[in-house]
């Protein structure tokens, strides 16, 4: 069976470590690509196996072309700057170019915007993208999952993103009630 190709990117918002953690938790069955920014390079002290890395300024990277056949992309976290560029069709770096390719090829694109509070401009951009089928999934925790640590909270949001990517996972405690 063909390996699915997933691109992970983190733009310059708080929580830039989330991209690295996603890569660490993705199963071996996935072909992993990571677009590195100056910020994420600093976090990349971690050892990562089986990940193809691309510099954000390398607009000629494989993942910049629709013909490469990326199946899904997740930008986590996604800054308001990157969100705005994607909503306006600007492709001035590899992250925004790859996102534009996902949109034109009608492939799955998940954005995890990180800001608090969201401005009306950011909400307008999210609304525009959501109506085009882009999944807006910010790193928001749920309290039913009973996380006690930051690590568990991160696993909860990554588990939700994996659900959207249709990657089986046991990263969080799912909602359960006794049915009578
Ligand atoms: C420490 C720090 C934290 C930041 N956190 C956020 C954030 O959570 N969300 C956001 O939209 N921008 C945040 N910014 C601002 C972005 O980094 C800035 O707008 C930058 O231009 C984004 O560029 P990029 O989209 O190319 O990564 C932060 C900046 C710094 C220095």
What is residue 59's DSSP assignment? T
Report which protein residue has its CA nearest ligand 1's atom 20.
12
CA dist 138 and 114 (Å) reads 6
- What tens digit of pLDDT does each residue of 95-129 get? 999 999 999 999 999 999 999 999 999 999 999 99
Sign for the pseudo-dihedral over CA of 139, 142, 143, 147: negative
Q: Angle 97-64-104 (CA atoms, 0-180°, nearest 5)?
A: 60
Please state, for a pLDDT cut of 70, what percent of the chain lies above it: 94
Mean pLDDT is lowest, of 13-17, 44-48, 63-67, 78-82, for: 44-48
Encoded tokens for 105: 């090829």
Q: Are strands 51-55 and 30-36 parallel, antiparallel or unpaired?
A: parallel
Query: What pLDDT was estimated at residue 11?
Result: 92
Average pLDDT over residues 57-65: 96
Q: Is the CB of 14 inside a 6 Å radius of any atom of ligand 1?
A: yes
CA dist 116 and 135 (Å) reads 19
Report the CATH fold assignment for 5-140: Rossmann fold (3.40.50)
Q: Is the CB of 105 inside a 6 Å radius of any atom of ligand 1?
A: no
- What tens digit of pLDDT does each residue of 125-176 get? 999 999 999 999 999 998 887 889 999 999 999 999 999 999 999 999 888 7
CA dist 110 and 163 (Å) reads 11
Residues near 67 by Cβ (< 8 Å), separated by ≥ 6? none
Q: Is the CB of 95 inside a 6 Å radius of any atom of ligand 1?
A: no
Q: Cis omega before residue 117 (within 30°)?
A: yes
The Å distance, Cα 72 to ligand 1 centre, comes to: 24
* Residue-range domain boundaries for the chain: 5-140
Q: Nearest to residue 113, comparing CAs of 85, 72, 145? A: 85
- Count Cα atoms within 13 angstroms, Cβ side, for 41: 8
The Å distance, Cα 75 to ligand 1 centre, comes to: 13
CA dist 178 and 121 (Å) reads 42
- DSSP E strands, 39-131: 51-55, 72-78, 108-113
- What tens digit of pLDDT does each residue of 3-21 get? 899 999 999 888 888 999 9
CA dist 143 and 162 (Å) reads 19
């Amino acid at each position: 069976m063909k390996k699915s190709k997933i691109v992970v990117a983190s733009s310059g918002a708080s929580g830039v470590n989330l991209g690295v953690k996603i890569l660490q938790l993705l199963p071996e069955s996935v072909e992993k690509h990571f677009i590195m920014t100056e910020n994420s390079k600093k976090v990349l002290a971690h050892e990562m196996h089986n990940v193809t890395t691309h510099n954000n300024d390398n607009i000629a990277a494989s993942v910049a072309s629709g013909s490469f056949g990326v199946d899904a992309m997740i930008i986590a976290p996604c800054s308001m700057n990157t969100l705005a560029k994607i909503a306006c069709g600007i492709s001035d770096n590899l992250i925004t170019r790859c996102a534009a390719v996902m949109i034109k090829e009608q492939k799955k694109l998940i954005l995890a915007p990180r800001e608090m509070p969201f401005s009306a401009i950011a909400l307008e951009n999210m609304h525009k993208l959501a109506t085009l089928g882009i999944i807006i999934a910010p790193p928001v925790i749920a309290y039913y999952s009973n996380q006690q640590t930051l690590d568990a909270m991160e696993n909860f949001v990554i588990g939700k993103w994996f659900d959207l990517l249709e990657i089986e996972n046991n990263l969080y405690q799912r909602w359960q009630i006794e049915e009578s």
